Amino acid sequence: MAEVVLARVGKVYPDGTRAVGDLNLNIADGEFLVLVGPSGCGKTTALRMVAGLEEISEGTVSVGGKVVNRVPSRDRDVAMVFQSYALYPHLSVRQNIGFGLTLRKLPKAEIRKRVDEAAQTLGLEEYLDRRPRNLSGGQRQRVAMGRAIVREPQAFLMDEPLSNLDAKLRVQMRAEIARIQRDLGVTTIYVTHDQTEAMTLGHRVAVMKKGELQQVAPPQELYDRPANLFVAGFIGSPAMNLLRGELSGAEDDLRLNVGGQELRVGAGVLEQRPALREYIGRSVAVGVRPEDMEDASLAEATDGSRFTSTAELVESMGSDVMVHFTIEAGAVVTEDTKELARDAGSDVLGELETPHTVVVARFSPRTEVKVGDAVEVSVDTTRLHFFDLDTSAAIWDLPSEPAEEPAAETPAETPAETPEAAPEDETAAPTGDETGDEAGDEAKEEDK
């Protein structure tokens, strides 16, 4: 087990594509860190640099206090778990789990012991003699996990390991991965584009956009205090509603005008967000989470902060009811929201540059609102989020905090280069093989 540190890590591919820039992360011993972001944000590239499958263009990666930039993948003592299980169809579960250890010529008794222990952890004892084709998707994924576990690595690196599973199995395996990681206490970096997976698994979650770290924080903090519009819109389902608004009034009577509708901003908001004072008389981006709105006829005593509109879509989820309505407020158009729209697959400009915005509210199941009804929506204004329209940064304190972690301390290169490091003439070149750490060896073995 070990701490993993990325210090000013960058990656430029040979064709000039910059996939990752100035990435600083300190992943503590035993921590479960999730890297999340839309497709193409550089999370897989970052993980592959830690694994040794991709050359590091800038900065350093250290595992257990040693810089591993020039250490070949197989000597990094990290184990990778991929989306594709890459199991050998002709080998039994036992042989598949122990394959890497057999290659490393560990004593048979030791292999047996480690495979038995892993099988127990994974609930695979009764399947050890089966072939992969006779296993369910979830069981196959467990075998792939088993291969990583028996290596007893310093860190697990997982690249979307659940994305091939159906929705129900994903939820089940998610809980299992969390349990296994807790039991083994192995430092884990987990890559996903699924924010629910990120929120439920990570001790901390690092959100990336276009190769850059946006924020790294425990899940609840990310949700409650998103650092910018991108994090605000990416974390949460349904997503935070983002609208343009104008702040007016005075400190003790702050008003927010959104599309001609005036909300009184709850007491205490300025105390929480002192920098908001600077925005009185100006336009801001306003964020409202769906659960911070309620059918006004069901809401407890409110301060009169309401939206009035017409219910355009009513989706009953059983536990709550999603009500969609339109507010005549311009959408928030910044680089961040364009990126969010792109990720959601919408026609970026067409969707964003309209004079009205569809808002989604999460009502209690006791609501009687139906499609076409006029709705009065009570808004908990103490829970509103505010962002600067020019910088996309959340408005909290002055000056706004930097999004990334403080630059990680770079462990000294020299001692780390010996004895683990590759000889001078050997490059830290990736194997380029999708199946990972011992993949090169395994692939060669396969060819025989």
Question: Can you give the binding site for ligand ATP, defined by CB under 6 A?
Answer: 13, 15, 17, 19, 37, 39-45, 193
CA distances from 395 to 207, 251, 338, 387 (A): 19, 16, 20, 5
Q: How far is the CB of 20 from ligand ATP (least distance, A)?
A: 7
Closest CA to 332 of 248, 410, 390: 390
Half-sphere exposure at residue 284, Cβ-oriented, CA atoms within 13 angstroms: 27
159 versus 438: smaller Cβ distance to ligand ATP: 159
Torsion angles phi and psi, residue 377, rounded to 5: -115, 120
100 versus 161: smaller Cβ distance to ligand ATP: 161
Half-sphere exposure at residue 114, Cβ-oriented, CA atoms within 13 angstroms: 23
Contact 227, 215 (CB under 8 A): yes
43 versus 94: smaller Cβ distance to ligand ATP: 43
Q: How far is the CB of 389 from ligand ATP (least distance, A)?
A: 27
163 versus 391: smaller Cβ distance to ligand ATP: 163
Q: How far is the CB of 343 from ligand ATP (least distance, A)?
A: 10
Q: How far is the CB of 202 from ligand ATP (least distance, A)?
A: 16
Closest CA to 158 of 432, 444, 437, 429: 437
Q: How far is the CB of 215 from ligand ATP (least distance, A)?
A: 16
Contact 65, 442 (CB under 8 A): no
61 versus 118: smaller Cβ distance to ligand ATP: 61
43 versus 306: smaller Cβ distance to ligand ATP: 43
Q: How far is the CB of 37 from ligand ATP (least distance, A)?
A: 6
The token pair at 124 is 């695979």
Which residue's CB atom is positioned nearest to ligand ATP?
44
Task: For strands 155-159 and 321-327, give the pairing.
Answer: unpaired
Contact 208, 42 (CB under 8 A): yes
CA distances from 297 to 368, 374, 376, 377, 407 (A): 10, 12, 8, 8, 50
19 versus 111: smaller Cβ distance to ligand ATP: 19
Cα distance between residue 244 and residue 334, in whole Å: 11
Q: How far is the CB of 16 from ligand ATP (least distance, A)?
A: 8
CA distances from 401 to 22, 62, 203, 228, 396 (A): 17, 26, 21, 11, 9
Torsion angles phi and psi, residue 327, rounded to 5: -120, 140
39 versus 414: smaller Cβ distance to ligand ATP: 39
37 versus 330: smaller Cβ distance to ligand ATP: 37
212 versus 437: smaller Cβ distance to ligand ATP: 212
Q: How far is the CB of 7 from ligand ATP (least distance, A)?
A: 19
Q: How far is the CB of 44 from ligand ATP (least distance, A)?
A: 3
Which single residue is written with the structure tokens 């005036």?
Answer: 262
What angle separates helix 108-122 from helix 167-184, to the nearest 10 degrees?
130
What's the N-to-C CA distance of the chain in angstroms? 34
Q: Where are the alpha helices (DSSP H) in 33-91?
A: 43-51
Q: How far is the CB of 38 from ligand ATP (least distance, A)?
A: 7
